[in-house]
Structure 1
Amino acid sequence: MIGWREGADRVGDLRGRLLDRVGTGTVDIDRIAGRTLAEGLDAPRAVPDRSHSTMDGYAFAAGDDYPLAVIEADVFPEDDPPELAAGEAVRIATGAPVPDSADAVLKREEAAVEDGRLTGPELDPGTYVYERGSNVAEGERLFEAGERLAPRDALLLGDLGVDEVTVRERLSVGLLATGTEIHEGRSRDLDSPMLANLVSAWGHEPTHEGSVPDDYERVESRIAALAAEHDVVVTTGGTSVGDKDYVVRALDALGEVLFHRVALRPGKPIAVADLPEHDAVAVAVPGKPVGAHAVTTLVARPLFTGESELSTVEATLSTDVGIGPAGFTYAVPVVLEDETATPLGHADSALQVYEETFDPSVLSSSTRATRADGFVLTESGLAAGDAVDVVPYPAVER
């Protein structure tokens, strides 16, 4: 068993090998959200490509002495600016290009013009000027291969004049539920819809591939078939050490199990395997729904997003929370209200699962726990009034 962070790091390392097996294509910048860059991108030109005024006023060289001769011209954003001789100034509008010899703008409110002569306060070079290359230098590396793009990246790409980028194809992800009780319809498959939504939110293409009973030969053959069809196979259930938990054994027969079990509760019995003969990766998560969500978002997420860092918000814990055996990280769901974090599942909360000591085994099956706003990661007991770092669920679900 390894720590959950080490597991996430190993999964992140596996991502590079997986992406090397995936094809590439081009997409317009209005379709980049969640896509993974296939190659690095350097700035094709400086931004801005010429200096612009950020105020309505007068442009001139800051080193020239007042009074300055105001030439008979006005510069607007659509204009090419005139040449200025030493000691000259020109009226300029916000967003208009600054003459090459000018490096400052005196805003209109501070300017005095009499008989075509401009006076005002002394200015430093760069005053009210958006200088050429101050945003981006030509040739500057801005994006790295393997980076996952966000909606805001379209702003910079558009400003660079980039209309499309080369990205990796979305990962094809096959979702397979294991368990005779699910296969025969006696229990509902709760995990697959949740996992499908996570995979979609992370920018990839999930396919629900049904279920398989607790039979070793059928488990192995079904995983093998799906690995031949998909880039990633995600299974649920069958990852513990019970008599009918066959998934890890099947993964070991089909490839290399990189690890099995992480020191996280709920969610401990996860396994990740590389299946090079199938050009695929397999992620096997436990069947209990809350544990499946916790371990997938904390350990498996880097495979799909390349990201493992966690954004947090600080809150004050409302009540004491004890934990079980040492040596584990506990993911405690909490509800946030007015900067106070209340453990959902505690006897003092709307969902009463445990009195004081956090019980991940029972909570892991409680789908009501998903109504929490986030979770606190801790390796020790917590006391009422403690400042805690809460990981909001949106931070790991997108």
Structure 2
Amino acid sequence: MTDPACSVDEHRARVLEGVRALDAEVVPLADALGRRLAADVVADLSVPPFDHAAMDGFAVRAADVAAVPVSLPVTGAVAAGDEVTPLAPGTAIRIMTGAPVPPEADLVVPFEWTSGTDPVEVRERADAGRHIRFEGEDVRAGDVALAAGVRLGPAQLGLLTSVGASTVPVRSRPRLAVLSTGAELVKGHVPDSNSPTLVAAGRDAGADSAAFGPAPDDLAGFRTLLAAAAEAADVVVTTGGISAGDHDVVKAALRDDPAFWFGPVAMKPGRPQGCGVLVASDGRRVPVVTLPGTPIAAYAAFLLYVVPLLHALAGTPWQPVTAPLATAVKAGDRTVLLPAVVEASGAVRPLPGHAGHSQRLLAAADALLVVPPSGRLVPEGTSLEVLALHPRPQEGLDG
């Protein structure tokens, strides 16, 4: 008797059951671009680190230029990096942008407001504090410069450098191993399109991905490659070998393991599915997701089940993305995944043609539209889950 098919949501929950985020890692700032902070970063240094001139001009006491015009003797000059001495009352010091403001000075008068000579005639007045960037006005030492969860772009790395950070704690990128199976792949009769597709999909999602295999259709060879993949990765994805055929090596090797489940999922394409856990030699529990071998079914199941798993391992939030239908679609008795294009309005329109086995149709699509079972016509404008085929960087694990 055939087991009843579970729903897509039920299988997604099964894949994610018991998964916990990987431990954070500390990396140099040079390697942190695009990563997400795993903890708050507290500033060691203030930004700015000292009071400095915001413009080229003259450092003065505001009280000395309260009435203008007024002439003041120039007692020196200071540039960025120079040592400074206190400003005497009734005098001015020539100062360059970025230079430390002399003690007792509380105003920088821009060159444009003066004669530029010695003595200098100040022709416009300003209040104390004008054209000075004060120590810590942006970030004070001891403050949280960036909070946990922030994605590190160029501006964030610049701020972290300014506050004295040289390394940062970031969320770990999961290591993904893709293991394809099938004697026809090993012998070269059929190109292994699943491995490059799913390795690229993993990288699109932000994982460090690598291909293992293809594995032969014998238990010993498959088990050897599977063990190697589990040792090298945080999650293993297999393709093929999970139906009811004589050479379905994945199912044959793992179906008696109580940590694994195999069965039908009410989806098209991709009805046969499976998942489980292997324990690596270092004690790590490595999730294994077994996908069908048909390229479109494997890719669709990867987006449905493996991408949320990668987010869970990375400790980054994941929620299904929805979009309105540009046209009505007919739902079936199981979840159907349709190649679709995203229109300028943001609505999605299924592509015409048979979707189940057409890689060409998939390559022309922007997304897979997830149509849940109902047996009814789903009206235009209804919001349905959409699986992006070309995610932007910010949609990945680090984004």
Quick check: TM above 0.5? yes
CA distance in 2, matches of 1:58, 1:165: 40
In 1, distance between residues paired with 2:43 and 2:17?
A: 27
Identify the residue that residue 351 of structure 2 maps to in structure 1.
346
> With structure 1 as the length reference, what TM-score do the two structures score?
0.67
Q: Which has the larger radius of gyration?
A: 2
Structure 2 counterpart of 1:282, from 263, 288, 297? 288
Q: What letter corresponds to residue 293 of structure 2 in structure 1?
A: G
Match of 1:177 among 172, 175, 180: 180
Which residue of the other structure, out of 299, 316, 320, is the alignment partner of 2:308?
Answer: 299
Q: Which moved more, 1:259-268 or 1:58-67?
A: 259-268
Indicate the residue corresponding to 2:30 in structure 1.
30
The unaligned stretches of length 5 or more in structure 1 are 348-352, 355-361
Aligned amino acid, residue 211 of structure 1:
A
CA deviation vs aligned residue, 1:211-253 (integer Å, no higher than 9, x gap):
243x677656653453245443221234578887674786675
**What is residue 55 of structure 1 aligned with on the other side?**
55
2:291 counterpart letter in structure 1: V
Give deviations 1:98-141, integer Å, cap 9, x for gaps: 3455555444445577963524254474x444432233332334
Counterpart Cα distance in 1 of 2:148 and 2:17: 14
C-alpha separation in 1, matches of 2:258 and 2:299: 25
Q: 2:359 maps to what in 1?
A: 366
The CA RMSD measured in Å over matched residues stands at 5.1
Aligned-partner SS, 1:197: helix
Alignment equivalent of 2:392, drawn from 371, 391, 394: 394
| Equivalent residues of 1:176, 1:209 under 8 A apart | yes
Q: How much has 1:324 moved relative to structure 2? A: 1.8
Q: 1:50 to 1:381 in 2, by over 3 A?
A: farther
Per the alignment, residue 14 of structure 1 pairs with 19
1:281-311 deviations in Å (ceiling 9; x for gaps): 3233343434544543542441565434589
Matched residue, 2:120: 116
SS of 2:49's equivalent in the other structure is: coil
Distance 1:311 1:133, change over 3 A: farther
- Write the distance in 2 (CA, Å) between the matches of 1:162 and 1:382: 54
In the aligned structure 1, how far is the partner of 2:83 from the partner of 2:150?
A: 38
Distance 1:45 1:66 in 2: 35
Summarize the alignment of residues 93-242 of structure 1 with structure 2, pairs less than 5 Å apart.
93-102=96-105, 105-110=108-113, 116-123=120-127, 125=129, 127-142=130-145, 153-165=156-168, 172-200=175-203, 202=206, 204-213=208-217, 222-238=225-241
Is 1:383 equivalent to 2:383 in the alignment? no
1:177 is displaced (CA, Å) by 0.9
Note closer, same or farther for the CA distance 1:146–1:312 as it changes in structure 2 (3 Å cut). Answer: closer
Amino acid at match of 1:394: R
Q: Distance in 1 between matches of 2:180 and 2:369?
A: 28
CA distance in 1, matches of 2:14, 2:132: 45
Q: Distance in 1 between matches of 2:114 and 2:296?
A: 66
Distance 1:89 1:95 in 2: 17
CA distance in 1 between partners of 2:366 and 2:190 (Å): 27
Gaps in structure 2 of 5+ consecutive residues: 1-5
Look up the equivalent residue of 2:51 and give its one-letter code: S
Provide the residue aligned with 1:333 in structure 2: 340
Alpha-carbon distance between aligned partners in 2 of 1:327 and 1:89, rounded to the nearest angstrom: 81
CA distance in 2, matches of 1:112, 1:10: 75
Partner Cα distance (1:164, 1:183) in 2: 44
Structure 1 vs Structure 2: percent identity of aligned residues?
A: 27
Counterpart AA for 1:29: L
Q: Distance in 2 between matches of 1:63 and 1:289?
A: 78
Q: Which residue of 2 aligns with 1:350?
A: none
